Amino acid sequence: MHVMILGAAGMVGRKLVEKIAREPLVFGRPVTRLTLADAFQPPVPESLRPISTALTVDLAGAGAADRLIEGLPDLIFHLAAIVSGEAEADFDKGYAVNLDGTRALFDAVRQAGLTSAYVPRLVFASSIAVFGTPFPEVIPDEFFTTPLTSYGTQKAIAELLLADYSRRGIFDGIGIRLPTICVRPGAPNKAASGFFSNILREPLVGKEAVLPVSDSVRHWFASPRAAVGFFVHAATIDTARIGARRNLTMPGLSALVSEEIEALRRVAGDKAVALIKRVPDPVIERIVAGWPTQFDAERASSLGFKAETSFDEILKAHIEDELGGRIA
């Protein structure tokens, strides 16, 4: 099968590619062709080079979507996006990529399907940013999407398009709303949510990390490993089980910052916890207060999507996947 990953240079995209490299039958049949596209040059694992094409492409560019779909990929992962902060700061760029680029992709599939029996599976990375405050304590699967950012608006619109195009048989789509990914590998970044990962990742390698909010902040998490699992499951599930409501809030772990810290203590001891420096930041406190903290996610769970159920599991996944199973 021909698999295409848009956003293949991003963190989850790269991990998905690595998964395919490790498990060539991950989708049930051999991946015979792999198209990796991103605004930045996507890395290609050695073992996949013979079947891979890596493209640096702007999804919003004229004709880009049509060229991507020319090869009629059987399975499309659409993870490409202008991230939340940038989409808020740059109105035109956010709408151009997250809305127009996505629609161009969907329409390119439609055009290809007008002259052939082409109906690919399409898995779309959505976000819990489609929801906006005020929230009930636990957000149910049928809660409405009233985003409070342009990014969340663009994701919610893409979800609606995905459902309509799927209903019309243009492609067989699934939108998956990811929890906050934790522990994010790599260097600390400036995302307001970065500290959730920083306070685990950095102390595990003997470095300090800043905690800008109180220990009693609650949030909604899944590991990068769980995220890759969501995409793989979405690629292979029988969509007849999903019906018309194609966008699913993924399961996750609702946990307090204090629970993160206690899991770190169990794994790496007091000396690791001592590396967390409390530097309250009212701006980040305020941003985080607007984020959802807990979902029911009953539909996705009953459809077989799985996330971690404790921070011990999340830490274990990080130590195995990023630190070769060893901590300092």
The site for its own copies (CB under 8 A) is made up of 91, 132, 142-148, 150, 153, 156-157, 160-161, 163-164, 167-168, 244-245
Kind plus residue range of the DSSP H or E element containing 33: strand 33-38
Q: Token pair for residue 277?
A: 């420096």
Report the nearest approach of its own copies to the CB of residue 112 (Å): 15
Side chain identity at residue 35, one-letter code: T
CA 51 – CA 30 distance, rounded (Å): 11
Taking the least distance from each CB to its own copies, the nearer of 295 and 311 is: 295
Full DSSP string of 78-92: E-----HHHHHH-HH
Could you identify the residue written with the tokens 């195995």? 320
Residue 151 designated active-site: yes
Torsional sign, CA 263, 248, 184, 306: positive
Q: Which of 176, 182, 74, 181 is nearest to 125 (CA)?
A: 176
Q: What b/e readout covers 77-109, taking b as 16+ CB neighbours within 10 angstroms?
A: bbbbbbebeebeeeeeebbbbbbebbbbbbbbb
Taking the least distance from each CB to its own copies, the nearer of 27 and 135 is: 135
Do residues 4 and 38 lie in contact, with contact meaning Cβ atoms separated by under 8 Å? no
Report the nearest approach of its own copies to the CB of residue 306 (Å): 23
Report the nearest approach of its own copies to the CB of residue 163 (Å): 7
Taking the least distance from each CB to its own copies, the nearer of 145 and 198 is: 145
Do residues 284 and 198 lie in contact, with contact meaning Cβ atoms separated by under 8 Å? no
Report the nearest approach of its own copies to the CB of residue 153 (Å): 4
10 exposure class (CB count in 10 Å sphere: 0-12, 13-18, 19+): buried
Taking the least distance from each CB to its own copies, the nearer of 72 and 148 is: 148
Report the nearest approach of its own copies to the CB of residue 327 (Å): 42
Could you identify the residue written with the tokens 């789509």? 173
Taking the least distance from each CB to its own copies, the nearer of 118 and 143 is: 143
Report the nearest approach of its own copies to the CB of residue 241 (Å): 15
Catalytic residues: 151
